[in-house]
Structure 1
């Protein structure tokens, strides 16, 4: 049975096209493995590419976009389901609710916000949905180094890295998501320590 995989990624049209091409590959591979895509509901940049790739492979796509961004990010009207939310907070909540797993591709501050919110809540035991950063070109290397430094300095607990996977390889990223499916019977004791 496939997962509903939420992909966080760029909506900027200024990025190198290599990221957009990679996002489309991600969408195609999600489809090949029988997964559903949950995305931010835009049809430009990496966000649009991952949805086009998923649909080209026959996957169901669900886009979630706030009303205020429908024209900025150009809403993906080709989505099998396009959900319009009143604001960004409800958008993230709706994406979280509809997803079984989270995959993070290179993106800007919005992508970082989504990554940190899901990572923090998983570290705190608020969910056990798998989270993987897929970074083939090392865009997030400084971020990972920062998180490691914060751990060494005592600002974050070492187990914070138990809540996330990091890889540069697409197949490995999806393997990690599939092997780490959430358990229905999970309890708070099954998660990492109570503080990030």
Structure 2
């Protein structure tokens, strides 16, 4: 379905909140991720807004000389205030079109702190990896323990037999930007036959 096939990363998709959150560490992490992506020559793909962590990481990447591609649906262009200073901006018809476009433009995926939209996007792209629709890494940037409870629940899901250990391990979790990106470069997708053998979805 999607042609991307490995950890060679020209662009990374970043999912994050349209709000900045209450912890200043979230903004600092957005600035750091944007800077490191630019320094490594990796473009960023994101939801196209100029508010919240979305806008912060876009501005940080651009300020460091990086390339930023935004993808935003028409109905959110005003609500999330589409960022008009990007390297490239795609305005699409729907949320489904947005997510598919972001996947096609990216070779890896990072979820920063965010709300249910961020969670939905991360879980969907991780599920697509489990189903063999792409073989690219998916990660959580766990800033100040933001995702600790979620990680614990995923471990419980694995312990209870609903998630194969190979697929649990395919979600990379780190609290440091450089460690996460280094792990992406080493990533090898699990065998797509695991789901069929275990019956886990």
Aligned with 2:13 (options 6, 9, 12): 6
Aligned with 2:87 (options 76, 80, 89): 80
- Structure 2: 5+ residue stretches without partners: 1-7
Name 1:61's counterpart in structure 2.
68
After the TM superposition, which of the residue ranges 169-178 and 60-69 deviates more from structure 2? 169-178
Q: Secondary structure of the equivalent of 1:155? A: coil
Q: Number of aligned residue pairs: give it.
A: 190
Aligned with 1:170 (options 170, 173, 177): 177
- Normalising by structure 1, report the TM-score: 0.90
8 A contact 2:158–2:168 mirrored in 1 = no
Which runs of structure 2 are paired with 1:10-25 in the superposition (5 Å)? 10-25=17-32
1:12 to partner: Cα distance = 1.6
C-alpha separation in 1, matches of 2:111 and 2:129: 15
Cα deviations across residues 91-149 of structure 1 (Å, max 9, x unaligned)?
A: 00000010011111111000000110011111122210111111121111111111111
In structure 2, relative to structure 1, the CA distance for the partners of 1:125 and 1:92 (3 Å cut) is: same
8 A contact 1:2–1:34 mirrored in 2 = no
Cα root mean square deviation, aligned? 1.8
- Normalising by structure 2, report the TM-score: 0.88
8 A contact 1:11–1:46 mirrored in 2 = yes
C-alpha separation in 1, matches of 2:103 and 2:18: 19
Q: Secondary structure of the equivalent of 1:31? A: helix
1:192 to partner: Cα distance = 5.6
C-alpha separation in 2, matches of 1:143 and 1:99: 24
After the TM superposition, which of the residue ranges 172-181 and 101-110 deviates more from structure 2? 172-181
- Structure 1: 5+ residue stretches without partners: 183-188
Name 1:31's counterpart in structure 2.
38
C-alpha separation in 2, matches of 1:177 and 1:62: 20
